[in-house]
Amino acid sequence: MALRDWFLTARERANPVSELPVWTTGNLAEPLIHGAAYFDRLVSAVSALGPGDHLFFTDWRGDPDERLRPDGPTVAQLFAQAAQRGVVVKGLIWRSHLDALSYSEAENRGLSETLRAAGAEVLLDQRVRRGGSHHQKLVVLRHPDAPERDVAFAGGIDLCHSRRDDADHAGDPQPVLMSPRYGPHPPWHDVQLALRGPVVGALDTTFRERWTDPMPLDSENPLAYVRDRLRGADLSPDPLPAQPADPPPCGPHAVQVLRTYPAVRPRYSFAPDGERTVARGYTKAVRRARRLIYLEDQYLWSTEVAELFAEALRANPELHLVAVVPRHPDVDGRLALPPNMVGREQALSLCHRAAPDRVHVFDVENHDGGPVYVHAKVCVVDDVWASVGSDNFNRRSWTHDSELSCAVLDETRDERAPADPAGRGDGARVFARELRLRLWREHLDRDPDGDEDHDLLDPAKAVEAITSAAEALQRWHDGGRVGPRPPGRLRPHRPERLPWYTRAWALPVYRLVYDPDGRPLRARRAGTF
């Protein structure tokens, strides 16, 4: 298997200004499934930092009082204590919209001010396209005197309320306000990667490019800039310490860092025409798919994204698409709910028309029958290529907001039959296959040690197994929940079809507000990323 067959080449990345490497090898990527596992690992790693070490982070939302373990510390306590020990703590948090609009302006500002008082520097970053956000979730920990200890965390999990859940899916004791269908403590499914090796240097570069960009922090909103000046906010990033050399190789994983940056004015210094390597990376991988594409995604919107899957399904008669999505949108209300529903309905309909018998969409519930909010952003193609990131499968994430994903190719073959499910000679790879199996074991209530994987390896048998389990659970619900509950937590996803008069207004609102297009005009006209 040649890495260039799956990963983007330098030319395909199409952003020669950036100093980001095309890809790195010799890494070790470890999936951390659920916020409780990630937060526990983060506390251990940050607590081990000493004077002169680096802690850099980016986030969409940061709640200073979110407890990372049941008895603490909170996010603010962990990072503030690091700064007080002499760790160089720098952060970039999206400035956000107002809390009155169900965003997190006050929380993000509170985390910034709390850490500033402890000696850290955390900036509220509004260098986005109008109506956009910084959606990257990244923590980079560097040890200049011991680079072999360097680690980075990247994926879908914010440092905020509702994220600290585990496999039991009882929810975080500190919830965010969501649709009441998810209850007072919304169950939350998510994935983050712990990364070691040279890729840590690439993720460090990702942070540094944003930090040193000369565009004013409030360039998108002049009124916000005036308010920040009156409040004495920090609007001028201090210099960063010199970037350490990349950590030494430590594992069998090649990792390609994929990003989204929109086309904006003034231009990003590191992406003058924006960057759409998330969209390009997924496009290249999906077009190589032959047997199985597995997705977990918060939205799965956009005809542009759905058409990519539809094309692959039409071109490959043995290809199946399996997707796990939330049962309900995270919002409710007569005005907010329909635009959140119409995009997924449109996308899934397009895929089903391409291959009615080979598109399988499920949602998740806990053992009490409560719906689990799927916030993960995971893709596995033919048990070879896998990605975990902040980006959703929609036009906003692929063109409009800042996003960050890591695609992984493992040099280690998985010899369990079928050893080459796609029949292309690439062979199943341990990281991709095991990531899919870990997620499916939980969703199907299988042995987490893998002793019951016999029917989950071959793509056709795996699809049959996951579909049968979901249908059995649905029949149990439809029959009044009589008798023992069947194993598993998946049910067939049944999106509600909106009446034509609701679709008439919800569709343009969805396209303009919820799923905007951040591509340059020439790319829009060409229909490319």
- pLDDT tens digits, residue range 504-517? 999 999 999 999 99
pTM of structure: 0.96
Q: Which of 101-105, 209-213, 241-245, 481-485 has the lowest mean pLDDT?
A: 101-105
SS3 at position 206: helix
Tell me the C-alpha to C-alpha distance, in Å, between residue 154 and each of 32, 42, 510: 10, 11, 28
pLDDT tops 60 at residue 527? yes
Whether the Cβ atoms of residue 44 and residue 149 lie closer than 8 Å to each other = no
| Angstrom distance (rounded) from CA 523 to CA 400 | 13
Q: Which of 19-33, 211-225, 344-358, 424-438 has the lowest mean pLDDT?
A: 211-225
Phi, psi of 111 (to 5 degrees): -65, -40
Q: How many CB atoms lie within 10 A of CB 477?
A: 13
Q: What is the pLDDT of residue 97?
A: 57
Instruction: Give the model confidence (pLDDT) of 423-452 as tens digits.
Output: 999 999 999 999 999 999 999 999 999 899
pLDDT tops 70 at residue 101? no
CATH architecture of the domain covering 3-234+245-261: 2-Layer Sandwich (3.30)
Q: What is the pLDDT of residue 219?
A: 62
Whether the Cβ atoms of residue 415 and residue 457 lie closer than 8 Å to each other = no
Percentage of the chain with pLDDT > 90? Answer: 87
pLDDT tops 50 at residue 489? yes
SS3 at position 462: helix
- What is the rounded average pLDDT of the residues 333-359? 92
Whether the Cβ atoms of residue 124 and residue 109 lie closer than 8 Å to each other = yes
Angle between helices 75-84 and 105-117 (to 10 degrees): 30
- What is the rounded average pLDDT of the residues 59-86? 97
- What is the rounded average pLDDT of the residues 17-33? 98
Instruction: Give the model confidence (pLDDT) of 186-210 as tens digits.
Output: 999 999 999 999 999 999 999 999 9
CATH architecture of the domain covering 277-514: 2-Layer Sandwich (3.30)
Q: How confident is the model at residue 99 (pLDDT cuts 50, 70, 90)?
A: very low
The 3-state secondary structure of 379-437, one letter per residue: EEECCCEEEEECCCCCHHHHHHCEEEEEEEEECCECCCCCCCCCCCCCCCEHHHHHHHH
Q: How confident is the model at residue 218 (pLDDT cuts 50, 70, 90)?
A: confident
- What is the rounded average pLDDT of the residues 325-348? 91
Tell me the C-alpha to C-alpha distance, in Å, between residue 417 and each of 211, 317, 381, 421: 47, 21, 17, 8
- Secondary structure element (H or E) that encloses residue 42, with its range: helix 35-47
- Greater pLDDT, 1 or 108: 108
Listed in order, the ranges of the chain carrying CATH 3.30.870.10 are: 3-234+245-261, 277-514
pLDDT tops 70 at residue 462? yes
Q: What is the pLDDT of residue 460?
A: 97
| Angstrom distance (rounded) from CA 27 to CA 151 | 10
Burial of 174 (0-12, 13-18, 19+ CB in 10 A): middle
| Angstrom distance (rounded) from CA 431 to CA 409 | 7
Q: How confident is the model at residue 102 (pLDDT cuts 50, 70, 90)?
A: very low
Q: How confident is the model at residue 233 (pLDDT cuts 50, 70, 90)?
A: confident
Tell me the C-alpha to C-alpha distance, in Å, between residue 45 and each of 34, 78, 107, 150, 319: 17, 10, 24, 9, 41
Q: What is the pLDDT of residue 496?
A: 82
| Angstrom distance (rounded) from CA 477 to CA 471 | 10
pLDDT tops 60 at residue 214? yes
Residue type, 298: Q
Q: How confident is the model at residue 263 (pLDDT cuts 50, 70, 90)?
A: very high
Q: What is the pLDDT of residue 334?
A: 84
| Angstrom distance (rounded) from CA 320 to CA 309 | 10
- Greater pLDDT, 276 or 219: 276
Angle between helices 75-84 and 35-47 (to 10 degrees): 10
- Greater pLDDT, 357 or 221: 357
**Spatial CA neighbour of 186 closest among 336, 66, 326:** 326
Residue matched to tokens 């698409």: 321
Q: What is the pLDDT of residue 388?
A: 98
Q: What is the pLDDT of residue 495?
A: 85
| Angstrom distance (rounded) from CA 251 to CA 243 | 22
pLDDT tops 90 at residue 225? no
| Angstrom distance (rounded) from CA 332 to CA 177 | 11
| Angstrom distance (rounded) from CA 404 to CA 92 | 14
Strand bridging mode 191-196 / 188-189: unpaired
Q: State the distance between the two ends of the chain, measured CA to CA, in whole angstroms.
A: 26
Provide the H-helix boundaries in 184-329.
Answer: 199-212, 222-231, 277-287, 303-315
pLDDT tops 70 at residue 490? yes
Q: What is the pLDDT of residue 256?
A: 98
Q: What is the pLDDT of residue 241?
A: 98
Burial of 269 (0-12, 13-18, 19+ CB in 10 A): middle
- What is the rounded average pLDDT of the residues 410-424? 97
pLDDT tops 70 at residue 103? no
What mean pLDDT value characterizes the chain? 94
- Greater pLDDT, 226 or 451: 451
Q: What is the pLDDT of residue 217?
A: 85
**Spatial CA neighbour of 142 closest among 43, 247, 41:** 247
- What is the rounded average pLDDT of the residues 247-251? 98
Q: What is the pLDDT of residue 106?
A: 82
- What is the rounded average pLDDT of the residues 122-145? 95
- What is the rounded average pLDDT of the residues 239-263? 97
- What is the rounded average pLDDT of the residues 150-160? 98
| Angstrom distance (rounded) from CA 294 to CA 262 | 27
Q: What is the pLDDT of residue 77?
A: 98
- What is the rounded average pLDDT of the residues 273-295? 98
pLDDT tops 70 at residue 365? yes
440 CB-near residues (< 8 Å, 6+ apart): 446, 456, 462, 466
